[in-house]
Chains A and B, each alone.
Chain A
Amino acid sequence: MVVAKRGAARVGDDPLNGVDMAEAGSITVDTHEAPHHEQSFWGKWVFPTDHKMIAMQYMFTGIAMALIGGYMSYAFRMQLAFPGQSVPGYGIVSQGEYNALVTNHGTIMIFWVAMPMLIAAFGNFLIPLMIGADDMVFPRINRLSYQIFLISAIVLVASFFVPGGGFGGAWTAYPPLSANSAYNLTPLGASFWIVAVALEFVAFLLGGINFITTLMNSRAPGMKMYDIPMVLWMIVIASILFMASVGPLIAGAVMLFMDQVVGTAFFDPTRGGDPILWQHLFWFFGHPEVYVVLLPAMGMVADVMCTFARKKLFNYKLILFTVFATGIISFFVWAHHQFIAGIDPRMANVFTVTTLIISVPVGEMLFLYIATLYGGSIQLTTPMLWALSFIAEFLIGGVTGIFLGASGADIYFHDTYFVLAHFHYTFFPIAIIGFYTGITFWFPKMFGKMMNETLGKIHFWGTIIAFNCIFIPLFILGAAGQHRRIYNFQNFPDLAGMQDLRVFATAALLVMLAFQLVFLFNFVMSLLKGKPAGKNPWKANTLEWTAASPPPHGNWPEGLPNCYRGPYEYSVPGREDDYWPQNVPPDTAPAE
């Protein structure tokens, strides 16, 4: 393709001008010195453009929001276990507050914990480092995306303190409940909520553009498409899925906001609107969204598994194409969330078929991961334990999804705790296990210190065992017919007798929350007094392990690396070391 010549700018302004682009990305050694400039306090810590700093901002904001979301789950589970009693550290949970707690717990965990930690924090930190670049392609847009994200978080937290309190219409915000303040009793909270969500979408659209463009364009010389670490593929494909699916919901959010504030009737059936439209707009995004958060977690698990099994990823290309297929199919399944909403049964047939189909590629990926482990020299470090538990727990989540994907069974299961347990068995591995997999693995690179392995393992076992103790009872309760979003099950004679299970689940939640203190302690202690990590404590292949720990501004001041091979060349026969970093030039003599 002939690229039209661009106008010539001043010398040194933009090297793109007038240069044939095909040559710019060819294999030349990039010893161009990274731009140096003194960073002021404000420029480094408060308004950074450095991708690593922005990653930290996203991560710590995400951790703060996770504490808030976890606190909320504590409050409403205490209410469920001990109805009507004052919750220590909260007070009495009123009916309206209960609604607000479950609504905001869900909203926060998905939009302000899972997405920022998995995509924004790890994406920002890893993408430039793993492709051998000195930063993202648009550092200032990167900064802007975090600022918009922070504002969205502040708007959401502010919603708890406005008259009427936080929005109580469930994270799915179905109208007319969400559109009409006469129904939801939280008019200000509802509007703050929708504005916060819309801002968060804008922040992630901006961030996504950075991630996609950087991965497509700024790879190290020699890094071809199939040399890219799987975690980066996953983060970028997730960004693309997000970008392609969120549009209708942004349109819907505008419509909902107008209904709330201006008095339009987009979703008001008494005035010619259609509430089902909102459901479709929401779930057309909502289903791809779960893959948006799933893929980065699976990517991190892949990288960790290969490093600690000392084995290459089993059929990298097949996994990649399976991910493409999953992403595409994910656009065809959304109405399985609406089976009993009154959609046409003929459409329900279609969506049942597509939903069952999508379980195939996802299951296939899990099998490929297990195949990666087979025959490897497995080291059960803390990150590896998390990665393995992801596979086990997500398997349960995925299998229980099949019950729900069959519309006939879903008629019974919809809106029960069975659904809730299903999506916690998927979301918890994604958001929480995925985060811990990534943080325990990349902590040495991020902070230059090693985390304590013993504390890490204690934290792991406590969390995993407690997690299962919370949600297995909820499967049982759901199968018995226990509905979601109910304030007090003592009001239901058929379900009141199962209170022991509810108390048990709540007790397990308290245990799980307590074990997170172990992680926080480990985190802070390792930051202050951990063993120095060195560049490559795990003996991994990917490019980030060739930078200093932590990498300085510009990542490789001595010159950006080149890439000579794929990311998973572990235990290559005939080589002395069981790993072969991507940036090491090929041996002059053949390996075999």
Chain B
Amino acid sequence: MAEHEEHTGHGQAHYVRIWGILLVLLLISVLGPVLAPHIEDAAAGAGAHFLKGWMIVILTAFGIAVYKAYLVAANFMHLNIEKRYITLLLTTMLTLMLLFFAGVSPDVMKHKGQNWENVAAEAEIDRALKAQESNAHSGEHHDGAEH
């Protein structure tokens, strides 16, 4: 029965298995930032200097998120047996969001461009980073209520 269920992508055992995989992935993504510095050191020791901590975090946190989303969408929402154009429709919406990001980030994410500079944002970043530095130096960890 378990094989039949696995084959059709249906059935209680199959869903529970997927859930188990999801939990394992969750654990990895939570441990990612904790283990990242150690992995980075180990990689550097083995000669792979390009592997940075933040890359590991991105991979574990976001790569896993994408895969988790895929597992839920394909298996729980049954997109794996749904008509193809539904998946096409949903991915088109995601593509639109990429388009939105691509069109807006040159103005909002970047604070400098061809003949323009977002002085207010840069001033704010400077101020906040300085305040965080001074907090760290003075030993206090209380930068919660800042602007």
The interface of chain A, by Cβ under 8 A from chain B, is 1-4, 244-245, 248, 265, 269-272, 274, 276-277, 280, 284, 331-332, 334-335, 342-347
Closest 4 CB pairs of A and B: A344-B113, A269-B120, A280-B104, A272-B124
Tell me the minimal C-beta distance from B11 to chain A in angstroms. Answer: 11
Closest to B99 in A: A331
Chain B 1-27: CB-based contact to A (< 8 A → 1; otherwise 0)? 000000000100000000000000000
A575–B10 Cα distance when bound, in Å, is: 56
Checking B83, B92, B93, B121 against A274 with a beta-carbon cut-off of 8 angstroms, the contacting residue is: B121
Tell me the minimal C-beta distance from B104 to chain A in angstroms. Answer: 4
Closest to B124 in A: A272
SS of A interface (majority): helix
Tell me the minimal C-beta distance from B140 to chain A in angstroms. Answer: 22
B108 within 8 A of A: yes
Given A1-B81, A271-B124, A280 contacting B96 (CB threshold 8 A) = no
Tell me the minimal C-beta distance from A242 to chain B in angstroms. Answer: 13
A552–B113 Cα distance when bound, in Å, is: 63
Q: List 5 A-B contacts (CB under 8 A).
A: A1-B82, A269-B120, A284-B100, A346-B106, A346-B113
Closest to B119 in A: A269
A-B contact count (CB 8 A): 66
Q: How many chain-B residues does the 8 Å CB contact rule pick out?
A: 27
- A4 near B81 with CB under 8 A, answer yes
Given A269-B120, A271-B147, A345-B114, A244 contacting B96 (CB threshold 8 A) = yes
Checking B83, B84, B121 against A272 with a beta-carbon cut-off of 8 angstroms, the contacting residue is: B121
- A269 near B107 with CB under 8 A, answer no
Checking A269, A270, A271, A277 against B104 with a beta-carbon cut-off of 8 angstroms, the contacting residue is: A277
- B106 near A344 with CB under 8 A, answer yes
Checking B84, B108, B113, B128 against A277 with a beta-carbon cut-off of 8 angstroms, the contacting residue is: B108
Q: Which of chain A's residues have a CB closer than 8 A to the CB of B120?
A: 269-270
A244–B99 Cα distance when bound, in Å, is: 12
Q: Which of chain A's residues have a CB closer than 8 A to the CB of B78?
A: 4
Checking A280, A332, A334, A345 against B108 with a beta-carbon cut-off of 8 angstroms, the contacting residue is: A280
- A2 near B81 with CB under 8 A, answer yes
- A347 near B103 with CB under 8 A, answer yes
B50 within 8 A of A: no
Which residues in window 72-128 of B have CB below 8 A to A? 78, 81-84, 92-93, 96, 99-100, 103-104, 106-108, 110, 113-116, 118, 120-121, 124, 128
- A342 near B108 with CB under 8 A, answer no
- B114 near A346 with CB under 8 A, answer yes
A344–B96 Cα distance when bound, in Å, is: 21
A2–B82 Cα distance when bound, in Å, is: 8
Tell me the minimal C-beta distance from A534 to chain B in angstroms. Answer: 42
A347–B104 Cα distance when bound, in Å, is: 9
Q: Which of chain B's residues have a CB closer than 8 A to the CB of A335?
A: 103
A248–B103 Cα distance when bound, in Å, is: 13
Residue of B81, B103, B118 ringed by the most chain A CB atoms within 10 A: B103
Tell me the minimal C-beta distance from B102 to chain A in angstroms. Answer: 10
Q: Which of chain B's residues have a CB closer than 8 A to the CB of A331?
A: 96, 99
Given A2-B81, A335-B103, A274 contacting B114 (CB threshold 8 A) = no
- B107 near A280 with CB under 8 A, answer yes
Tell me the minimal C-beta distance from A408 to chain B in angstroms. Answer: 15
Tell me the minimal C-beta distance from A131 to chain B in angstroms. Answer: 20
Given A280-B104, A331-B99, A346-B106, A269 contacting B81 (CB threshold 8 A) = no
Q: Which of chain A's residues have a CB closer than 8 A to the CB of B93?
A: 244
Given A2-B81, A4-B10, A276 contacting B116 (CB threshold 8 A) = no
- B114 near A344 with CB under 8 A, answer yes
Tell me the minimal C-beta distance from A545 to chain B in angstroms. Answer: 32
Q: Which of chain B's residues have a CB closer than 8 A to the CB of A4?
A: 10, 78, 81
